[in-house]
Structure formats: structure tokens, C-alpha cells
Amino acid sequence: MYFGACYYPEHWPEERWETDAEMMKAAGFNIVRLAEFAWSKIERYEGTFDFSWLDRIISLLGNQGIKVILGTPSATPPKWLMDQHNEIYMRDMYGHVRGFGNRRHYCYSSDIYQTYVDIIVDKMARHYAGNPNVVAWQTDNEFGCNDTTRCYCDNCLSKFQAWLKRKYTEIDSLNDTYGTVFWSQIYNSFEEVVLPAFTVFPLHNPSLVLDYRRFASDSVIDFQKKQIDIIRALAPHQSITHNMMGAFNEIDCYDLSADLDIASWDNYPNLMFTKEVNPALAAMQHDMTRGLKQHNFWVMEHQSGQPGGNIMFPTPKPQELRRWTYQSIAHGADGILYFRWRGCLFGAEQYWHGILNHDGKPGRKYREVQEVGNELARISAIIEGSVNKAKVAIVRSYDNEWVFEIQPHVMHYSYMEHFTRYYQYFYDKNIQVDIISPDFNFSEYSLVVLPNYIMATDELVEKVNAYVRLGGNVIFDFRAGAKDWNNRMEPLTLPGKFAELLGLTVEEYGVLNKGESRKVAFGGVEGSFTAETWFDVIKTEQAEVLATFDEDYFAGCPVVTKNRYGQGHAFYIGSDLEPALMELTLDEVCKVAETEASHGISAPKGIELVSRNKAGQAYIFVINHTVLSQTIQLHRSFEELLGESVLQGEVVIEGNGVLILAGAKEQV
């Protein structure tokens, strides 16, 4: 396991470096990330490269047994470079230059910029390929961060046109697909096609907007690929990763990760403004990242102090850092790098706090990190090689999420919030979940959830049908099958190509705006529930009805259905169910799909249970996300790794506390 921090020696006097390295060693560090924003330090003048300072700190860290991940510095081209090539800057949809002074001030489509990046990556890779202290590379930094995926510059316009030409070959193929006959937008050549930039009214052709989002995502992937090719050719033994951003959706991270050796992400649970932090959101993003390569991952930036640009976020309370760290590991993190070693005295992120405050003295956060370091020194050999397993998968489709961003249907509607409703249920029940691409294999799972699966390919329809036919279980919900993969409506009665699988037709539908809901009756359960966001007016064919609307002109119509199909079952949910109704519904689904856990632990709300497995044995992380002591029930005897004790029966776990229980068989 890697344990360390992001470190910026270039921000501090060289006299301090030794102290830092010793303090890191004392905290149990074995890794730091360096140099991802150091371009103008390395190449202050064009063509003059200075790695000497970087060599010195790497060597000094090496002396303390600390390895290095090097960042390629392409996120921050120096000013001398930008002054030569104004065309590198991104443009917003009005044509405004997005100028110098922050970071990520470049467009992925700039060939000129690519040549500069090639050179510096090549220089760095050559210089460090043979350095045994350098174990890995991070490409760039947080691709797409701060709205930098999508650009409206002239380079993007012509590259988008070329991308479209590759996809459609003939302009009339594009015209037919987009339906440009609508509003007289027929294009006579690819050179006529526009970016979805500023226009009279912000309502572009939805197929074009979707293609533009795909193009923008592809541009980032291409940009990264060139760096990877250079490094891999020169330093094939060093791993390559990129620090992604969890639920961030502007780039298709399945594709971005395909070129990487390992996925990483930046985990800031306290980045929110709200007073209540929901630990399910961090858990979900860990699972998303693990799902990218269906493999363990690193947390490249792990919150230490309070984050903040001009505004500061909440300060982590005592033992919060430790708790988040173990949650990360529980969900599959094999590397933890805190961001950052020490608060910086200057620059735009002065207030983004680190393990050490600006004064550089070891304080509460340092001591807490050191505590974790000591624990990991004892347990990491045991944990290493263990993996998470799940019976339930939720399909995250970037393309479908984009469709709902382009056309939210309902004011303020969010695909990701809808997605999270499902995740939250499984999280609350401590049922392990994989978050997967629609392209991944479904056959390993008892249950596959496909939220808001509005665009469907024939392949996916066939795959789902085959999966259910052989005993799998699926959940679809409203808007399923409404569109083809190019964001055109299907000329079919809904749920379109899923109608046979689901055994129903949707006769009508409509939105329920914020604050609106309709009553729902759940078969056999007394009382009335509510559903919101949307209503489908469903007519069942073969499907069994689990819940019905109890209000409005569609009172009595089904809202939740279950259809036997081959050996399996296909569920359909025609609205957004309130939590209690969602629980009833998914309890029923889980009963059918047999997804319950078997670890023999009972725990109250606020306690998260997650298992990593190795050699048929489970290591169950028990995490108390509350600030109060909680009591759990162990129905068998466990070895607890952190406290090195044996536990059974009623066990008290203190606020923010963590247990790692060994002794149960593999858990999925």
C-alpha cells in the first residue's frame, strides 16, 4: 500500500526539505507526488530544462524510503509559451479568451500546444525513466476541472468537423441522423457544421450537442494518449495514472482509464457547503473509480485540512481524516496521498489547507495522519491484494447522463441525483455495489440497475434480454428506451425496445415539477406513499403490478412493475419514489435477486460495512460515520486488526471509529 502526500518542494526553501522528508518518514510515508504544476520551474525559458532541484528532492526522499509519483506539467503552460501562441487559450461560447492567471488555460485541440507538451513529457520521461525512486506518472492534473473540457475555439470547430466526418462519412448521413431538416439547418458539407455556441436561444440540436460532448471527451482522451505513448515507450516499468474526479462527468472516464495502468481520484468529502456530509457520496465515488478499470485504485489527493480558494470549506474534526482514509481503503484504495503536505504561503490556493498548517509545525492533523501511518505499517501486508466483490451492479452511462444534462426534462432534474437514490439504498443496507459501464459484462451479477436508460443500442437491448433470460434481474425506470444512441426519439411506443422485456407499454407521461408529487399505493402495504419528478401512465401487458398511482387522472395505473422474463425478472419504476417507497420496492427486488449479505454483523444506521476479500476470506471494515459511540452485534467471533483483539457479541465502536474484522468468508 502506498501512503503519503502531495508535496511541493518548489514552494519552500531548500533548507526545509530535509525536515519535511524526516517528518514524512516519521508519519509512515512511502510515497509522494511531485511536479505536476512545475513546468515554469523546470523550463523557465524555452528549451532550457532544469531537473536538478527535482533530482535533489527525489534523492533526499529516497534516503527516507519514500518513492515518487511524477506529474506531467501539462495542466499549466508557462506564460512565455502562451505569449507566443494565443491560439492555445480556450474560448467560451461567446468567443471570449479564457486567459492566463489560473490553470488549465489550454485547449486540447491545439496542435501547437501538443508539440510543446510532447517535448517536456519526453524530456521528463527520458530523465526519470531510470530513476528507481520514481514508481509512477500522473498525466496532467484533473482533466476537465473547472469547466475545461469543452471549448469553442477555431481549432475545436475544425477538429469537431473532422471528428464528425470520421463518424458520418457523408454529410447527409449527419443530416438524417440529426434531423437538420428541422428549422432549416441542413448542412451541405461538414465545414458548415457549427459548435453549439452562443446563439439566439440556448436550444441547439440535441444530437449535435451530444456529439459535441463526445468529441470534447475524446479530445481529452487523445491528448492524454500522446503523453502515455511517450512515457510508456521510454519507461515501460513505471505505472501511469491520472487523478480523476469521482462523479465528474464531462469526460468518459471508462475510455480515459482504458489507456491507464491504474485509476486514481481526488477525494474531498468536506468540499460541500452543507452542514451534513453524506458519506454515501464518497463511497459511491470510490466505487465509481474502482469500476473504471474494475480494479483497485489510488486516492491521489485525499483531503487533509479544510479546502478553500477564496472561500474556506469546513474544517475536518478530530478523527475525521482517519475515518475517511479507512473508508477509501475499504472501497478498494491501494494508495492514499493526502493533499497536501503543508498549506502554501502564496498563490490561489493559500487557503487549501494541508496536513501541516502554514506554520509548518506538527499539529493535530499531523498526529492523526501519523496514527494511520502506524496502523497501516502493521496491517497493509494483510490487506494487500484484497478486492471488493458485489452481486449488484449499477450502470453508469456517461452518454445517458449527458442527454439528461442537455435535456433535463424537468427543471433542476439531475441524472446523478436520481442515480444516487439507488446507490443510497444499497449503501444504507450495506450491500456491496459495483458501478459499471454498459459495455461491461453483466453475467457476474444477480441484479443490474440501469437508471434513466433513455438511449439504448440494439446490442444493449440484446445483452440485457439475454442476461435476464438466463436468470439475471434488472431494474429500468422512466424514459428507458425513449431514444436511440444518437439522441433521436424512437418512433415506438415506450418503453420502446424494452417493451417485451418489461411486459408493459407507457401510454402517456409527464413531468412533476419541484414540489409536486402524486400519491402511490404499494400492494399489500397500508398507507399512502408519494412519487415525484415524473409520471408514466403504464398499461401492463404481462407484468405484475407492485405499486399504483393513487391520485390524478392516472390513479390506479401502475408505477412499479415486475415482469418474469425467461429465468429472470425485469422491474420497471415509472417515477421517482420517495425513500420509504424506494426501500419497499428495492427490498422486493433484492429478495427476488437474493443480494443480502452474510457476514453475520448487525449494525445501526450510520455504521458502514464494507468487505475486501483475499483468498476466500473477508476483511470487513466497520466505519462509524457518526460522532457518537454506536453498538454493533457480532454474531460470530472476529479478529480485529487495528486493535489486535478478538471481538464477539455486543461491541461498542466510538464516534468516528473504525474496526477491521477478519474471520468471515469472502463477502460479495
Q: Among residue numbers 158 through 177, which ones bind its own copies (CB under 8 A)?
A: 177
Nearest to 427 by CA among 390, 474, 478, 385: 390
Q: Assess 245 for contact with its own copies (CB under 8 A).
A: no
301 is catalytic: yes
Angle in degrees, CA 421, 426, 427, rounded to 5: 90
Nearest to 394 by CA among 447, 454, 473, 332: 447
Among 19, 84, 115, 146, binds its own copies (CB under 8 A): 146
Give the sign of the dihedral formed by CA 621, CA 626, CA 630, CA 632.
negative
Q: 469543452: which residue's cell?
A: 150
Count of all residues that appear for the chain in the document: 668
C-alpha grid cell, residue 353: 489547507
Residue 412 burial (CB count, 10 A) = 9
Q: Assess 461 for contact with its own copies (CB under 8 A).
A: no
Nearer CB in complex with its own copies: 273/616: 273
Q: Assess 509 for contact with its own copies (CB under 8 A).
A: yes
Q: How far is the CB of 630 from its own copies (least distance, A)?
A: 18
- 268: which residues sit within 8 A by CB, 6+ positions away? 301, 303, 307, 313, 339
Nearest to 403 by CA among 213, 245, 577: 213
Among 318, 579, 604, 643, binds its own copies (CB under 8 A): 318
Question: Contact region for its own copies (CB under 8 A) — 24-32, 146-154, 239-247, 418-426?
Answer: 146-154
Among 64, 239, 380, 407, binds its own copies (CB under 8 A): 407
Q: How far is the CB of 642 from its own copies (least distance, A)?
A: 22
Nearer CB in complex with its own copies: 99/604: 99
Q: Taking CB under 8 A as the criterion, which residues in 258-297 touch its own copies?
A: 273, 275
Residue 99 burial (CB count, 10 A) = 11
DSSP label at 488? P
Nearer CB in complex with its own copies: 354/663: 354
Q: How far is the CB of 78 from its own copies (least distance, A)?
A: 6
Nearer CB in complex with its own copies: 551/639: 551
C-alpha grid cell, residue 299: 486516492
Please answer whether residues 469 and 564 qualify as being in contact, where contact means their C-beta atoms are separated by less than 8 angstroms: no
Question: Contact region for its own copies (CB under 8 A) — 183-191, 393-401, 451-459, 601-609?
Answer: 183-191
Among 25, 26, 40, 564, binds its own copies (CB under 8 A): 40
Q: Taking CB under 8 A as the criterion, which residues in 42-101 touch its own copies?
A: 44-45, 73, 76-80, 83, 90, 94-101
> Helix, strand, or coil here: 362?
coil
Binding mask 376-405 vs its own copies (x if CB under 8 A, - otherwise)?
Answer: ------------------------------
Q: How far is the CB of 254 from its own copies (least distance, A)?
A: 25
| C-alpha separations of 385 from 94, 295, 597, 616 in Å | 50, 11, 22, 12
Among 237, 317, 591, 665, binds its own copies (CB under 8 A): 317
DSSP result, 111-150? HHHHHHHHHHHHHHHHHHTT-TTEEEEE-SSSTTTTTTS-
Nearer CB in complex with its own copies: 212/254: 212
Nearest to 625 by CA among 659, 655, 650: 655
Among 162, 379, 410, 545, binds its own copies (CB under 8 A): 410
Q: How far is the CB of 274 from its own copies (least distance, A)?
A: 9
Q: Assess 187 for contact with its own copies (CB under 8 A).
A: yes
Question: Contact region for its own copies (CB under 8 A) — 34-42, 110-118, 238-246, 367-375?
Answer: 34-42
Q: Which residues are annotated as a binding site for Zn(2+)?
A: 107, 151, 153, 156
Pinpoint the alpha helices (H) of 512-639: 579-593
Q: Assess 248 for contact with its own copies (CB under 8 A).
A: no
Binding mask 104-143 vs its own copies (x if CB under 8 A, - otherwise)?
Answer: xx--------------------------------------
**Residue tagged active-site, from 36, 43, 142, 375:** 142
- Interatomic CA distance for residues 321 and 471, integer angstroms: 43
Q: Assess 362 for contact with its own copies (CB under 8 A).
A: no
Bridge partner residues of 387 (DSSP):
613
Residue 643 burial (CB count, 10 A) = 13
C-alpha grid cell, residue 115: 508539440
Burial 247-257 (b: 16+ CB within 10 A, else e): bbbbbbbbbbb
Among 56, 237, 361, 591, binds its own copies (CB under 8 A): 361
- Interatomic CA distance for residues 413 and 575, integer angstroms: 13
Nearer CB in complex with its own copies: 175/617: 175
Binding mask 293-312 vs its own copies (x if CB under 8 A, - otherwise)?
Answer: -------------x-xxxxx
- Interatomic CA distance for residues 541 and 565, integer angstroms: 12
Give the sign of the dihedral formed by CA 229, CA 152, CA 45, CA 32.
negative
Q: Assess 416 for contact with its own copies (CB under 8 A).
A: no
Active centre residues (catalytic): 142, 301
